[in-house]
Structures are given as structure tokens and as C-alpha cells.
A and B are shown apart, each in its own frame.
Chain A
Amino acid sequence: MSYEIVGITVLWIFLFGYIIVASIDFGSGFFSFYSVVLGHENKVHNIIQRYLSPVWEVTNVFLVFFYIGLIGFFPDVAYYYGTALLVPGSLVIVLVAVRGVYYAFNTYGSSKENNKVYMALYGATGILIPAALSTILAISEGGIISVREGKVVISWTDFFTNPYTWSVILLALVSVLYISAMFLSFYAKKSGDEEAFEILRRYALAWSGPTIAASLLAFFEINRQNPEHFQGMLNHAWMFVASFLCFLIAMYLIWSKKHLGWSFILVMLQFAFAWFGYGSSHLPYVLYKQINIYENFTNDTMAIALITAFVLGLIVLVPSLILILRLFLFDAKYVRGSSAKKG
């Protein structure tokens, strides 16, 4: 494999990791707020809190990691996207910032009562951030960023009047709620909290239909937006079929309340197939017709250094991630809440 492919694959995997952990986080924030507003907070909120508090910081790092890696492997990305996305990028930073700090303030700072304002900020940003981030996928299809008189410009009219933009936003929103409801159902079941499990299972089932509908919509809008990319996706059609099969099995398992661990793994596979199918058919462009992984790649020495650093980094990272998962996700005692105290 060439360095270019290794580089983009690494980044794509990390972005996938981000999508999964962040969806759980974003959706949880929303459900958590929703349950506090409805008044049955004790049922769902505690479960969510017990999972999120030790890992919220890690979620953020996935995004930073992807982003820094992208600049490292493809420095031109900084130039095109960086110039074009000043305003939306800054807004995303503000949303991420508000979300991060108020989560921490609510969890570690305040006494037992949940601060409704903090919770509302957390819930609302959990919906706005995926919407904002997903628009970058729409921009990457081309036609929005252009270079005029040596200056990078972005056409917001083209962007907002584009049905593809909205279909991607819709897809991001529903899949966030779907992924997190599926995960939290699994987590609630594991903790033996039947009441929370029932509520979360209802959420998961409710959001499954819209997820598939939104996926289909986005799929066909790509054809209108970027026929070349759509053709590429048809060439990888088996991946999307596999994705759909995973979805069906996951749905069956949660419907019959069995093997919820497998059910969530299948959800991950469902998104993995769709994500890598989408990604590989997008190649070789990072931004259609402007940033190409072969032409806009960093120099070879840096590529080798980055890949080496990545491998060495993984040697430290993977055991650490396994450790945190074992302590907080697969430790029955912790999940049940008998030792959920913070220092």
C-alpha cells in the first residue's frame, strides 16, 4: 500500500472511531436532558452519567487526532478548508467548548442537583455539533469551495440551497440518536436496570426507521450532487448491502432483547460498512477536484515519520483504551453502580 492510502485509511478509521464515541456522547446528552425535563431523570440519567463521566475527555481527543493527522498528511487541507471554513469552524469550536466545559461543570463541579441550564446547553449542543460537522462532508463533494483570483472562497448560497447538505445533516442527527440509544440499551441491560433499558430500547427502535430513511435519501442525493462519486459507491455496492444486513440483525436482536452486546457490535459494523464504502468511493479526493490524496500529500519523510509515530502511539494507546473499557464498561460492579464514586 502506498503512504497516501495508509495515511487516509488511518485518518478514516479515527474519524469512524470519533463518529461512534461522539454519537454515543452527543445522543446521551440529548437523552439525558430530555429525561431530566420529563422528570424521569433517575431512570436514564444515572446510567448515562456513569458511562460518560470517565470517558468524555477521550471523545474530544478522537476529533483533534483526526484533524491534526489530516493537516499532517495533507497540509493543503489547512489551506482550502481552513480559509473557507473560518466562520463555521469557529462556531463548531464554540459549540464544542460550551459542551465540554458545562458537562464538566455539571458533573464534577455542582452538588447533587442537576443544573437545568447546564443540561440544556449540553443537550442542545449535542444536536448542533453533529449537524455542523456533517456539513463538511457535503462541502467535500465539491462545488462549494472555489478559488477566485488566488483567493479561496466559499459559496454559502450554493451550500444552503443544496438538498444534499440537508440530507447529510438529517442523516447525522438521526444516526446520532440511533447509535447512542442502541449503545445505552446495551449498557442499561448490562447494569441490570430494566426500567432504563425499556425506555432506551424504545428510543432505539423509534430511531431505527428514520436512520435508514435518511441514509437512503443521502445516498440518492449524492447522485445529484456528484454523479462520479455515486458511481464509485455503486461499485462498492456490496458494502452498503452488508451495512443494511447488519442493521437488520441488530434490530432483530434488540427487538427480541437478546445478545445486546452483539447488537451494538452490529450497529458499529453497519456504520463501518457504510462509512468505509462511502470513504473509499470518495477517493482519491479529499475535496472534490481540489485536494487529491496523491497530488496534495505531504513529503515522504514526514509521511514515514507520521506513520511510525502512529504505530508507536498505538502501542501505548490500545492497551490504555482497553484498560479504560475494562474498568468502566466491562466491569460489572462499576456498571451496576456500586463503585461509581468520584474522588
Chain B
Amino acid sequence: MSSLDPVLLSRILTGLTLFVHIIFASLGVGIPVMIALAEWRGIRTNDPHYTLLARRWARGFVITVAVGVVTGTSIGLQLSLLWPTFMRVAGQAIALPLFLETFAFFIEAIFLGIYLYTWDRFKNKHTHLLLLIPVALGSSASAMFITTVNSFMNAPQGFTLSEGILTDINPIAAMLNTAAPTKVSHVLVSSYTLCAGVLGGLAAYSILRGQKHVYFKKALKLTVVSTFVFAVATAVIGDFSGKYLAKYQPEKLAAGEWHFETQPYATLVYGGVLDENNEVRYGLKIPYALSILAGNAPNTEVIGLNEFPEDERPPLSIHYYFDTMVTLGALLVVIPLLYMLRKWLPGKKAYPKWLLIGIMALGPLSFTAIEVGWMYAEIGRQPWIMRGYMKVAEAATTADYVGWMLVLFIILYLVVCFSCVKVLSKLFRNKDAMEEMRALGMEGGEP
């Protein structure tokens, strides 16, 4: 094997682990918020349906948390196993957020254990709800800390580099780097969107299968309206992220937009293909939109890719990730909006079939949006592991057998994900919501 092989293999393995982890991590961040929302409504309106909803979600949530924990442990250890040189150097600057993340994780783990086993233990209903606050805070805080590490890699700061050694280190400045605010908020809100969308999809699926009970309608309303709110917020923050890129990381934006010449009144390209002369074909061109995206005014000058040496340019394929992310983001706003406007829609049914199918799609759509969004952010940073300081090729492990480890982890993740899906579907099928309402003595008996 050539000496470059471990680099490519390490990239693939890290990418694979993150690909799997991101799904479960996002669920881990957002679902406690949704559970809290449902339980809070249940207490406020004294409606046992919402409490049951929170319970059922919590039951499935533990399963996804388990997978999130193990994939998270994987990526944590793989950072050092696959990128030892990077950790040796960057460890001097970013150990603080990594350390804080484990604290946040600790708190989340402790209170989740308590929450799950104390449903009927406290007289005051609010006590149990309060236990969710540290869970939700813990998961969001750990997402925040770990995202600051990632934003540091995009916008390294808080140190001086002289002759390969970091000096004048300021851990707080490294953590609160310029990329952190937009990245953290985008990650958090998109995770909330994902979870609201997935849970909305589950409710829509039940209604589609003929469930007519008001429980499912309540679930649908709570989740789809939440999806709308979170998706709009995600889009707004996404716009800030674009402006951030234009200012601080222009090569990512330029590669994503196939924007080569630095110029004002820049055109935004949607879709299309590039020919050998880097001319865009078949794409939808929107005049001035890129300048507006970059700086809110058509005369904003947008830096082009030609300003960067060829070996420091990200791959041009990230254009498609960006377009996919934005398209899906738009759908995540439009579908919930149609649901909210359903009374004014043509047709007689309150829940038209196509709309329910659309809502069912919210989950897969947001999964895909999050994955391509990450791929855009990560691949758009190539060839750097620490933008401007260290290239990916210098950071990878020199050890052999990375290829075998890749095979090992592919098998692991396939088995784990497959059984996770199996266990989850069995869990909800074995204990149907209607049955459970009957057992709890709610008016769940009637059709």
C-alpha cells in the first residue's frame, strides 16, 4: 500500500462513523426537547394524551441514545486513533471544549437514567418534567461544545504557530472562534427540526394506516407545527452561515457556488453541470442572488475560487450538497406550511393522503438534509484539517491496517443500525398506542 492510502482510508472511516453518529446524535439533541414539549403540554392542559405521547417517545428514545452513545464513543476514540498528529497539535488548543463536552454528556446520562425510571415516583408532576431540563440542556450543550471543536477546525484561532509549535494559546478564544456562533446554532436548530419531523412522520404514518383517534391528531399538530418553527429558524441561521462563509471562508462558498471570478452582482447557480472549461451548463442561474446571499446587497463583491492556489481548493462537487441541502430545507418549510393551511386547501378531506405522505417524508428529508449539510461543511474544508494550518494528509495515522478497520466498522454499523431499526419497530408494534390507552383507562376504546 502506498503511504497515501491510510489518509484516504482514514477519511472514509471518519466520514462513515460521523455519517452514522450524526443521525443518532441529532435525535439525541432534539428528542428530549420534543418530549419536554409534550409532557409540558400534558401537564398544562391536563391532557393525558400528551403525557402518553411523551412516554412513548421516551421509550424509543433510549434505544437511539444507546446507539448514539456507542457511535459517539467511536468517533471520540477514532479522533486519536486515525488523526494522532492532529490531536497532538490541536489538543493543545481544543482540549477544553472536548473536556466540557464529556461533562455535559455525564449530566445528560445521569438525568436520563433518572427520568426513565421515575414516571410514577413523584407526587408532583412537575418534578418529573424538571428532570428533562438537564437532559435537554446536557445534550444541547454537548452538541454545542463539540461543534465549537469543528468550527475551530474551520476557523482556527486562539494561538500563534511558530515552527510547528503552538504558542500563546487561549483556550476560550479557540472555543469561541468566529465560525462557532453560526455553526452551533445551525446544528442545534436543524437537529430540533429533524426530531420534530421524524416524530411528525410517525404520527402521519399512524393516521395513514387508519388510526382515527384524536391522540394521533394531537401528536401530528404538535410535531408538524414545531417542524415549521424550527425549519424556518434553520433557514434563517443558514443564511447567516452563508454570510459568514463569504467573509471568513470564501473558498468554501465559491466552490459550493461554482463562483470563479471575484466580482460584485454575482449570480447564484442552482443545479447544472460543469464542463471542462469550468463553464456551467444546464444550471438555473439567478442573477445577483449570490451577492445578496453573501452580503444582503446586489453589489456585494464575492470572492471567487481563482483567488486560491489550486491545491487549496475544495472539490467542486460540494455544489450538489449545497443545492440538495437548500432544496430539502425549503421542503421542510413548505410541507408543514401546507399542513397548517390545510383548511383552505382544495378537496374535502381534513388530512389528504398526499399531505400525510408528505409529512411522513419530513423525517427522511431532514435526515438527508443534515447529512448533505455536513458533507458540504466537511468536504468544503478540504484539503485542510485545520484551515490554513494543517492539511489532512499531514494529520492522518501512519499505522497499517486502516483498511481492515474500515471493514470492521462497516460491519459493526450495519449490524447495529439494522438491529436498532428492528428493535424500534418491534417496540412500537408490540405496544400499540390504542392498546396502551385502553390499559391506562383513557377513553381510547372507541374507534
Contacts and interface: CB of A to CB of B under 8 A. Distances in A.
Interface stretch (A86-94, A183-191, A247-255): A86-94
B99 A72 contact: yes
Given A101-B419, A343-B116, A60 B59 contact: no
A79 B87 contact: yes
A111 B419 CA distance: 15
A244 interface: no
Given A60-B69, A68-B99, A340-B117, A81 B110 contact: no
Contact of A101 (B70, B87, B113, B398): B70
B122 to A, nearest CB: 10
Interface stretch (A25-33, A166-174, A227-235, A296-304): A296-304
A319 B334 CA distance: 45
Chain A, interface size category, equals 35 or more
Interface stretch (A40-48, A102-110, A259-267): A102-110
**From A302, A305, A310, residue with most partner B Cβ within 10 Å:** A302
B167 to A, nearest CB: 8
A72 B98 contact: yes
Nearest to A65: B102
Given A86-B405, A302-B95, A327-B118, A81 B73 contact: no
Nearest to A85: B81
A305 B117 contact: no
Given A64-B76, A79-B87, A341-B120, A309 B110 contact: no
B172 interface: yes
A75 B84 CA distance: 9
B351 to A, nearest CB: 29
B59 A343 contact: yes
A12 interface: no
Contacts of B71: 97
B92 A298 contact: yes
B182 to A, nearest CB: 24
B69 A79 contact: no
Given A54-B117, A86-B405, A93-B78, A75 B99 contact: no
B88 interface: yes
Nearest to A324: B110
B65 A57 contact: yes
B73 A97 contact: yes
A237 interface: no
B434 to A, nearest CB: 18
**From A54, A63, A69, residue with most partner B Cβ within 10 Å:** A54
B111 interface: yes
Given A100-B69, A101-B416, A72 B58 contact: no
Interface in B395-409: 397-399, 401-402, 404-405, 408-409
A101 to B, nearest CB: 5
Contact of A71 (B95, B106, B409, B424): B95
A109 B427 contact: yes
Contact of A78 (B91, B107, B120, B399): B91
A67 B169 contact: no
A104 B66 CA distance: 6
Contacts of B172: 305
B169 A301 contact: yes
B106 A341 contact: no
Contacts, number: 234
B308 interface: no
Nearest to A316: B107
B209 to A, nearest CB: 22
B129 interface: no
Give the secondary structure class of B's interface: helix
A207 B444 CA distance: 54
B268 interface: no
B55 interface: yes
A61 B106 contact: yes
Contacts of A102: 419
Contacts of B77: 67, 89, 92-93
B103 interface: yes
Contacts of A299: 92, 166-167, 169
A60 B73 CA distance: 8
Nearest to A91: B408
Contacts of B98: 68, 71-72
B123 interface: no
A339 interface: yes
Interface in B376-413: 397-399, 401-402, 404-405, 408-409, 412
B80 A78 contact: yes
Contacts of A65: 102-103, 106
A282 B427 CA distance: 49
A113 B116 CA distance: 20
**From A57, A63, A80, A310, residue with most partner B Cβ within 10 Å:** A57
B414 interface: no
Given A82-B84, A92-B77, 20 more contacts: A68-B95, A81-B80, A86-B399, A93-B73, A94-B408, A97-B71, A98-B416, A100-B69, A101-B419, A104-B62, A104-B65, A108-B427, A152-B398, A298-B92, A301-B170, A309-B99, A316-B103, A317-B106, A320-B107, A323-B114
What are the 7 closest A-B residue pairs judged by CB atoms, nearest first?
A72-B95, A75-B91, A104-B66, A78-B87, A82-B84, A82-B80, A109-B423
15 contacts: A57-B65, A57-B113, A64-B73, A79-B87, A79-B88, A86-B401, A90-B409, A94-B408, A108-B59, A299-B166, A301-B171, A310-B99, A316-B103, A316-B107, A324-B110
Interface of A: 53-58, 60-61, 63-65, 67-69, 71-73, 75-87, 89-94, 96-98, 100-105, 108-111, 151-152, 298-299, 301-302, 305-306, 309-310, 313, 316-317, 320-321, 323-324, 327-328, 334, 339-343
